[in-house]
Amino acid sequence: MTTAPLDYIPALIAAFRAGHASDHVHLGYWDQEQAAAPDWRGAQDAMTDLHLDALDLHSGHTVIDVGCGIGGSLRRANDRLTHSTLTGVNIDPRQLDICRTQKASHGNEFAWIHCDAGHIPLPDHSVARVLSLEAMFHFPDRQLFLSEAARLLRPRGRLVCSDIMFDAPSTVGHAKLLDVVTQGYAPWPAPVTNSENLRILAQNAGLVLLDMTDISTHVLPTWDHIVPPHDTPETSPVAAMRDLHRAGLLHYVISVFQKP
């Protein structure tokens, strides 16, 4: 992933410990029903479930969550599975400290690894499913991560990953907003990219694309719940991201790849 600190994480951890936030460190997914009756934590659960559904999980699977946050995604995977090994990978020890408070059940086992996303200390072909929920943009090299996922996956194993991508800004104002985002949520090494570039990187890694879906419109209501009223896009990365999203320059893409 990266050796640089994620400066926005301490505030999220503090909110979790104070009971003001869930154990998800990602945006929400809003369907029509949720949009009519807004529920921020429910939207985060829905985003997690969307990824887990795409993973096609089965009991007995070995599952790795790369960029696992503070463990919410594997907690929900634990509720779906029995006799499975659920491993979270994170470069940030602060987040792993929270993860270790998660308790497995149903014969499952949790494991937590402090390492980089491009160098995971597990054997080749040892994993049935790899998840990376809204973390890839922090990785210094998407190609390296995709190649590592391909190395770990068994034949016909599956990778589900989500990425936030930006179109190249065409105005000075949008360029400044993108700079606020990438500085505030640093590291964000390559914010300008697109789905076709990701498909090519995955193909280079030996992965086959099964599905790629842009869910940006379903993510858009999130900003109404997480941008403080006093925040301005000139200084606040979350407000700047909101404005780029509303301008149509932000794309939230979920991809499903398979190891042949």
Query: Which of 109, 134, 196, 234 is an active site residue?
Result: 134
Please tell me the distance from the alpha carbon of residue 51 to that of residue 48, in angstroms, as a whole number. Answer: 5
134: annotated active-site residue: yes
Q: Tokens 């099964």 correspond to what residue? A: 210
Cα 150 from chain centre: 18
What secondary structure letter does DSSP report for 167? P
Please tell me the distance from the alpha carbon of residue 77 to that of residue 75, in angstroms, as a whole number. Answer: 5
Residue (of 87, 215, 69, 66) closest to 142 by Cα position = 66
Provide the residue count of the chain.
260
What Å distances lie between residue 176 and 25, 179, 220, 244, 247, CA to CA?
25, 5, 21, 10, 14
- What kind and span of H or E run contains 223? helix 223-226
Active-site amino acid positions? 134
